[in-house]
Structure formats: structure tokens, C-alpha cells
Amino acid sequence: MSTDDVTAEELVKRLRKISSLVAAELTATDDPDAPGGHDMTHSLAAVRSLQSLTDEILARLVTAARGRGVTWQAIGDALGTSRQAAFQRFGNPTDPRTGKPMYKPTDLELRSAVEKAETFLDAIASHDWHRAHELAGPRVGWQLDADRLADSWAQVISLGGELERRGEPTPIALAGGVIVVEEPLYMEAADLVARVSYNREGEMVGLWFLPSGQALGGEDPA
């Protein structure tokens, strides 16, 4: 059942029920008289359910806002993100080739792509080239073995110096179910962006290190 099929009243009832459950579980964690065998997995499951529900409610409210003429810029500002990021998450673009809505990755698929990209870039940043090659998978790994990944990172270092810190990753959904994850790289002498892309099967299909001005989000990660 989609969010559009659920009434606002039903969403409110679910929100109250799950919020009460989360509150009870949270209270139990601070209760010194609570049984030592209290199963914390109940608390984790309750919070996960609340997160899923708030995602539904947020999507519902964004749709309502768009119906009332609120711009993507205003929505992005309210959510603390860019208008493109807001559109990527909540927009419903139409494929000009078919006239049908494009495939839209779920929040779970977007989070999974971010986690994979983060793990891969962790390996790159720690110079664990064999681990990075393993994480690259067959589609990218056959072109970039451990030595070539090391060579590629050496080229990055030659352009901007040592990596000082990394920014927040941003997932971007493209046509065909491709998810691009972009992460700012703050080097000694330059700001770059790592771009890692995954197909619908979750396989890495692209890797780039680019000047920050070439980020798909079009924003300098200052």
C-alpha cells in the first residue's frame, strides 16, 4: 500500500502508537529497576519502525507542499538540504522516452549505496588497496585492480595534496535505477568530489575523482 492510499488519520494513529512504544522502550533503558534481561532489540525495532513512518509522513507532506505551489528550493531549505537533493528524494520525474514515471530507488536502496560508497572510500583513504579492489566488485574491479586503484589515488594526491577530511555523502538517483553517491574530499590544496555509482543490482559501475565544481549537485562543498 502506498502512502497515497493511507488517510492522514491512519498515519496519525500509527504515529501515536509507535511513538508511545518508542517512549516506553527508551524509558526502560534508564530504569535501574528494569529486568537485566530487557531485550534491546525491541527498542531498536521500535525506532526503526518510527523512522520508516516519519519517512512516509515526510513524503506525504512534501507532496502536499508541492500541490500548494511550494518550490523545491523552499522545501530544500526547510529540510536543510539543496533543492536538487529534495527533488531527488521526493520528486517524480517522467521518462521522456516512455512518458511513464522513472524508476525511483527506495530510501533503503539509497542508504545502502551510501554505506557501500563510504566503506569503499574508507579503504581508499586508509590505503587498503586490496580491500578497495574487493569492494569495487567485478564491473569496476576488472579495470581497476589494487595497483591501479593506488595509482589513481596517487594522481588525486598530486592534484590536491593529502586528504584532510571528508564531507557528507549525497546519493543521487539517475535514469535506469543508477544511484550516484558523491562525497566531498577536502584536500590540502584543493576541494574535490568522489563520485561512486551503483546499478539497480547494487554493483559498482563507476568511479571518478573530480573538481568540486563538477559535482552533479552543482554546489561547492565549502
Predicted confidence (pLDDT) per residue in 137-193, tens digit: 999 989 999 999 999 999 999 999 999 999 999 998 888 889 999 999 999 999 999
pLDDT given at position 32: 61
Residue 71 confidence (pLDDT) above 90: yes
Residue 42 confidence (pLDDT) above 80: no
- How are beta strands 179-187 and 191-198 bridged, if at all? antiparallel
pLDDT given at position 49: 87
Closest CA to 81 of 168, 183, 160, 175: 168
What is the Cα 201 distance to its own chain's centre?
16
3-state secondary structure of 166: strand
Long-range (24+ apart) CB contacts under 8 A made by 199-205 are: 199/139, 200/103, 200/105, 200/176, 202/109, 202/112, 202/113, 202/116, 203/137, 203/138, 203/139, 204/116, 204/120, 204/135, 204/136, 204/137, 204/139, 204/140, 205/139, 205/140, 205/178
End-to-end CA distance of the chain: 41
How many Cβ atoms from other residues are within 10 Å of residue 8's Cβ? 11
pLDDT given at position 1: 45
Distance CA 114, CA 98 (A): 29
Identify the band that residue 222 occupies on the pLDDT scale cut at 50, 70 and 90.
very low
Long-range (24+ apart) CB contacts under 8 A made by 139-148 are: 139/199, 139/203, 139/204, 139/205, 140/204, 140/205, 140/206, 140/207, 144/207
Distance CA 185, CA 193 (A): 5
pLDDT: which is higher, 85 or 71: 71
Does this model's pTM top 0.85? My answer is: no
